[in-house]
Every structure is written in structure tokens, then in C-alpha cells.
Structure 1
Amino acid sequence: MKGIVCEEVGVFRMLDSMPEPKLTEEHAIVSIRRIGICGTDYHAFKGNQPFFQYPRILGHELSGVIEQIGENTAGLAAGDKVAIIPYLHCGQCIACRRGTTNCCMNMQVLGVHVDGGMRERIAVPVSHLIQADGLTLDEAAMIEPLAIGAHAVRRADIGPHDTVLVIGSGPIGLAVMAFAKHTGAKVIAMDINEERLAFCRAWAKADETINALAMELTNNGEQIDVKQRLAKLTNGEFPTAVFDATGNASSMKDSFELVAHGGQLIFVGLVKGEISFSDPEFHKRELTLMGSRNATAADFRHVAAVLRSGSLDINQYITHRSPFDQMIDEFEIWLNPTSKVIKAIVEV
């Protein structure tokens, strides 16, 4: 069996003789057909991923076809097209007992804590397979990054009454925008890249965009900062929910001042370190601050249903692709910002 291993920082190796996965009780053998490339994969390759050990088989945005499966209550059978939930929760901790499996105390994520799907076949618990009938293999692989955005929107209970600001227009930020729009909310996108902001308007249907680096002047020639520009777009009231999907400590710190009184601030991006904020600003707004991590099976099923409805065009979301045998060379290209990757996918 072929597979690609990240042996150490900056080193991928294609192996032709990986051990085959074994079929065990309550598991299935899945033939991997699509592998989405995530920021986690880039960070791991460059040595910037926290809590990471080498060597590791990367890959957690996965779709494929079941090769082998025993009797199961999920109604799955050999030949079924599936998406894979890569968050292997323990089922025993307080988070799992309360149904919040996405923040399991003993979480093992495929491609991060344990070997992932950058190989021809993998053994997966049946409980972590989502039937993908009616979806393309590309769509099925993209359920995972979209589900992270969908989970954040669901966690914040966003609806038509909300004006939402999403800071950061990477794949996860775009997913937050798309699913916030799906609820009927007004969406404002903020980034520092004008091409990405144009994509936010075209693909995620963002109502307004703010380029945080662009200069905007008043009639008197005075420069307007980001906070003032946001106030203009919201009649001085600011968004009822702000999602920060940057993973940038400075952006996350500044976001406290961009939320409406009585509003919510949701950190979807992760930074390794501490975030400080002004307690008076926090209290006078009576803000709700929450983290949003991963997604649940319910989020995966919701995303699959939205994709089946035709509401999201995955063909635009996926901007780069490569055959499995050429992935190592292409990966180096995707790392370069000039390649303008939004989402890359590997065909196995």
C-alpha cells in the first residue's frame, strides 16, 4: 500500500510498502479517494504545529469508499461513498458524556495525534463515517473544514436577527461566512487581502467587506480606522457576533472592541499563547466570549445536507488539486502565498 509520511520538518517521503489496515470490530476499511490539505498540514510540514510528533501520516479532510465492513447499525455497506470524521473521541470523559465530543478531553485527531489518511486505505470506526450518497468525492472531503465553520455558527446560535463579522478569510473563515449567511444573518468579512475579500463576496455571499490594511479617508482627509469603518456599516452599533478565524493574537485581542453591547465573540482560530483584553471594555459590553473547536457528527450531517441542496459551490472553494503521486512536489508550491491557494485537494 502506498502512503506519504512527513518524516520530519520539511520532509515528505512516498512509501510503497506501508502495512495494510486490519478490519476489527466496529471499524471499516476505507479506500481513500480525496484528501483535503489543511492549514494544520502546512504547519506540521513547516514545524509550526503545536503538540505534534514526527514521523506522522498527515491528512484529516477525507473521503473515500468502504472496502470492508462488518455488521453495523449505521446501515453502511461495502461500496458506499463516505466522509470521515477525523476526531477520535474517547466516549468516556465529561465532554463526551454531555455530547460535546468535539472537545473530548482525550481527543486523538487523524493526521495530527495519530496517523491520518494520506495513504491508500485506512481503518476507521464505523461511528466516524458519514454516508455521502448524493455528493461528489470532492464535496465529501470538504465536509470537515466546512463543518468547523458550521459548528461555530451553531454554537453561537446565529440567525436572521444577527449582524456577523468574520475576521479572516481562509477556508475556515469562509465556512463561517457561508453558514452564517445560510441562517439569514448579515455578514461582514474582514481581511487584509483584496482578492480574498472579493471571493468572500462572490462565494460566501458576504454583504460587506473591510480591508483592514486599506486606507479610507473622511471628506476632511482624515484617516478612518477599522473600528470606525465597522461602526459606519452598522449604524454605530457594531456586529452582534464577531468570529475571529485568524489564529493571530493581535487580531484576537483587538476583536474585543468590535462587538456590539450584549454581543458574542467567538474564537474559531487557535493561537499558541495568551490573549489579553481590556476588562472594562469586556464588562461594559457584557460580552459572551466562547471558543469553538472542531465539529460534531450533527455538524457533519448538516453540512452534507446543505451541500446536497446545491447551496455551496465546492468547485470554486477548491482552487488547486494534484494526483497522489505528485502531491509532494505540489505541496511545496501550495506553501508559497503567490500560488493563491484557498483549498487544495489530492486525488488518490
Structure 2
Amino acid sequence: MMKAVCLDQPGRISLIDLPMPMPGPGDVAVRMDYVGYCGSDLTSFRGLNPLVSYPRVPGHEISGTVAALGDGVSGLAIGQPVTILPYFNCDACHACRLGRPNACRNNQTMGVQREGAMTSTVVVPVAKVIPVDGMRQRDLALIEPIAVGFHAVRRSELRAGETVVVLGCGVIGLGALLGAVRRDARVIAVDLSADKLKVAGALGAAETIDASSEDVAARVLELTHGDGAEVVIEAVGADVTFRQAIDLVASCGRVVYVGYAKNPIAYDTKHFLLKEMDIRGSRGSEIADFNDVIAYLKQHPDAGDRIVSRVVPIKEAAAAMEAWDKDPGGFTKIVVRIEAGKDA
């Protein structure tokens, strides 16, 4: 048997025992070292995630080590550090046929529609396993959430020298920030948390705006000489920021939504036409985004220390979730250490 974190029902999380899985043909057993808490885990804990059913083992931000190989698996070695692509697509729907599996109509993500990785060992097909050498083991758990931000930047077609406003400095927003900086763009980061804005500045934001005390629209216009930003990436998923993105973007600019609001949003649609803007959605990430993030984190090994707020052992995972629920602005990233004795 093995230990696992379980969302028993909204507002209740516990540590349970599950049978140890064994790899079948074409599968890989991966021992979990670290697993990050995602914003979707928090909404699931709060009972606000319409895609999750209970009970559910959360976790899809994964750092692990190859523990066993099923028959027919080659190219991996026992003890090799890996992360996992946690999305399971159908290979049959229109998005899959277009070669965009991240937008699969029937997608199942670990920790959401299927059991997650916040447990001792998971078994997945070899195609989902991504070897990662030359990085701190903890930081492998940052690859997936940062990749979601990188994918949003890719969807924006951001170019060097352009200005991008990133609304929200959680890990997804910070991923968008890093992806934009990597493209030599100018980033204006916006958040309600002064602590998160400090992290954004340390990671390369040219300017930061504290939405709790500043007029965001006025400040963006000031910083862009009255034009607005060529790109706005919404990484909050709130009614106000969904509408705000339309106000902040320049004429002929691009708005990318990577967060999603829980309620229907009412827009003054004339701005869509008057600005002739592009509005794009961004969902999850692809293997190319994972590879880009891995390359970035290898070049910037200090980034993980700036992003990770707390590392807790699995026995404290429930308490950490409860603390995050009470003070969501107080944490950028909580990482759960699954294996005892790992570096923090």
C-alpha cells in the first residue's frame, strides 16, 4: 500500500492508503518526489471546479524518478529524473486531428477528471514521461504550470519589443511573464499582492502595478504613451480582469485568456470592433512548451527559489491546502514533498 492525498469532498482533504500500482506493457512506474498544488486543486477543494468529482487524488505538477519499466519500454532508466505530461487526449476529436491535443474535447487531466499524482507512485504510458536531467529535483514540479504560461505567450504571437500586460502573478501568470521575457518583450505585471509583484519584478517584469491601490487602466496608458499594450494575457479568471483585458489592449492588439471565469461575462462589444482586436483562448500546454520551460529553468536555476513559497511533507499537505484556502494571496506556489529525505 502507499499514501495519497485525497480530496474527499469540498472542504475536506485527508491522507489515505491506496494499492501500489504496477506497470503493464508500455507503461512506466514513476516514484513521486515532489508535486505542486495547482489553482485547480484549490478550486476543487472549494467545490468550485465543475470538472472534478469526489473523492479525487489531486496533483499534476510532477517531479519524479523512474521506478520500474513495463515490457517493451526503452529509452528510460531506473532512477532517471522525469516529469509527466499530465493530459490524456482522445486522438480522435477535431482538435486532436489538427495536432493540438491540449485542446482535446475529451481531455482528462491528472488530478481533475482522473486520479492525480499526489501519492507515492503513479503509472503512465511511456509517451507521457519526459526525462529531465541537470535540474534541481524540486523544480521539475514547476515545469507544467510555467508551461501553461509559455503556451499563452505562444498563442499571443508576442514579438520582441512589444509590451504585454500580464494580469495575475500566480504561477501561470509568472510563466507568461517568463515566456514574454524570453522573447525580449516588455512586461507590465498586475496583481493585488505586493509580495507577488516583488517576485514578478525579480523575474524580469519591467513595471509592476498594484491593483489594490492603483488605477490599472490609467497606469497602463501612462506606461504605453496612451496606446495600451500590444498584448494582454489574463491569468486570473475573474469577471473584472476578463473585462479589464479588453480595456487595456491597444488597437489591433491581442488578448489571450488563460484563466477562465466561473460566471458569464457581459461585454460592451463595440470595443471588439473599434479596436479590431484579436481575442484568443489558451488551454494547457504542449510538449514543445515543456521543452522550452526546461531549457529556460536550466539557464535560470534561481527562478525556482523565487517562485516556490513553501515546501511541505505529504503529512502536512492537508494543512497547507487549508492555509492556502484562507490566504490565497499569501502563497505563490506550494510544493508537497512526497519522498522523505529529499532536498527542500
Superposition TM-score tier, normalisation by shorter sequence? over 0.9
Instruction: Describe how 1:110-125 pairs up with structure 2 within 5 A.
Output: 110-125=110-125
Task: Give the TM-score normalised by the residue count of structure 2.
Answer: 0.93
Distance 1:207 1:339, change over 3 A: closer
Give the unaligned 5+ runs of structure 1. Answer: 216-224
Distance 1:72 1:294, change over 3 A: farther
Q: State the one-letter code of the partner of 1:4.
A: V
Instruction: Describe how 1:1-348 pairs up with structure 2 within 5 A.
Output: 1-16=2-17, 18-70=18-70, 75-202=75-202, 204-215=203-214, 225-310=215-300, 313-337=303-327, 340-348=330-338
Distance 1:116 1:75 in 2: 24
How far is 1:133 from its partner? 0.9
Distance 1:338 1:169, change over 3 A: closer
Distance 1:101 1:173 in 2: 22
192-201 or 119-128: bigger deviation: 192-201
How far is 1:339 from its partner? 7.8
How far is 1:147 from its partner? 0.3
Task: Give the TM-score normalised by the residue count of structure 1.
Answer: 0.92
Identity of aligned residues (%): 34
Are the equivalent residues in 1 in contact too, given 2:242–2:261 (CA < 8 A)? Answer: no
How far is 1:331 from its partner? 2.4
Q: State the one-letter code of the partner of 1:209.
A: T
Distance 1:274 1:338 in 2: 23
Aligned residues: 337
Are the equivalent residues in 2 in contact too, given 1:333–1:339 (CA < 8 A)? Answer: no
Distance 1:12 1:226 in 2: 37
Q: Tell me, what secondary structure is at the counterpart of 2:318?
A: helix
Q: How big is each residue's C-alpha offset from its partner over 1:269-291, in whole Å with a ceiling of 9 and x where there is no partner?
A: 01123223222211111100001
How far is 1:26 from its partner? 2.1
Are the equivalent residues in 2 in contact too, given 1:50–1:272 (CA < 8 A)? Answer: no
How far is 1:50 from its partner? 1.6
Q: How big is each residue's C-alpha offset from its partner over 1:167-200, in whole Å with a ceiling of 9 and x where there is no partner?
A: 1111111111111011100000112222322221
Q: How big is each residue's C-alpha offset from its partner over 1:273-330, in whole Å with a ceiling of 9 and x where there is no partner?
A: 3223222211111100001010001111111111112265101211101111222223
Q: Tell me, what secondary structure is at the counterpart of 2:166?
A: strand
Q: How big is each residue's C-alpha offset from its partner over 1:47-85, in whole Å with a ceiling of 9 and x where there is no partner?
A: 111222101111111111111124667722222110011
245-254 or 104-113: bigger deviation: 245-254
Please give the root-mean-square deviation of Cα atoms over the aligned residues, in Å.
Answer: 1.7
Distance 1:301 1:106 in 2: 24
Q: State the one-letter code of the partner of 1:34.
A: Y
Are the equivalent residues in 2 in contact too, given 1:130–1:301 (CA < 8 A)? Answer: no
Q: Tell me, what secondary structure is at the counterpart of 2:21?
A: coil
Distance 2:138 2:103 in 1: 26
Q: State the one-letter code of the partner of 1:210.
A: I
Distance 2:269 2:316 in 1: 51
Q: Tell me, what secondary structure is at the counterpart of 1:123?
A: strand
Give the unaligned 5+ runs of structure 2. Answer: 339-344
Q: Tell me, what secondary structure is at the counterpart of 2:99?
A: coil
Distance 1:311 1:13 in 2: 33
Distance 1:93 1:240 in 2: 33
